[in-house]
Amino acid sequence: MTDFQDIVQELTELLDGKTDGLICQVSDDSSKVKPALGKVSVWIEPPDYEWPGWWPHEPDITCKLMLVAGTKDTQYQGMRLIHQAMEALYKVNLPMRSAVPAGFNLADSGTLAAYEITLNAI
């Protein structure tokens, strides 16, 4: 079975430095998500697993990213940054399947602008 840390490493390498500095952070630890001013943070969520059959069939793994930006008081600007980041990720061929608006609750800071991106297989 594919190790989650292998997925995290592959996604981090894929995202790191591909957006002209728009993405400031990539992490699989949601408690470390802290977008800098004018930047987007990416949280690699734990994957969804689906087993199409019994052993020796490998599970289907669906990965999701949470793009987070702004502050509770700058939702509009945060969404604009996230849209720019999604466009940049599309241009570097990140295998995105869908993206839906979401909120990201940052402890002691309220809910921040966010989009949850579901990826195709990498």
Q: How confident is the model at residue 1 (pLDDT cuts 50, 70, 90)?
A: very low
Express as a percent the part of the chain with pLDDT over 70: 98
With tokens 């734990």, the residue in question is 46
Q: Is the pLDDT of residue 8 over 70?
A: yes
Q: What is the pLDDT of residues 12-58, one digit of tens each?
A: 888 887 788 899 999 999 999 999 999 999 999 999 988 888 888 88
Q: What is the pLDDT of residue 21?
A: 87
Q: What is the pLDDT of residues 72-111, one digit of tens each?
A: 888 889 999 999 999 999 998 899 999 999 999 887 778 8
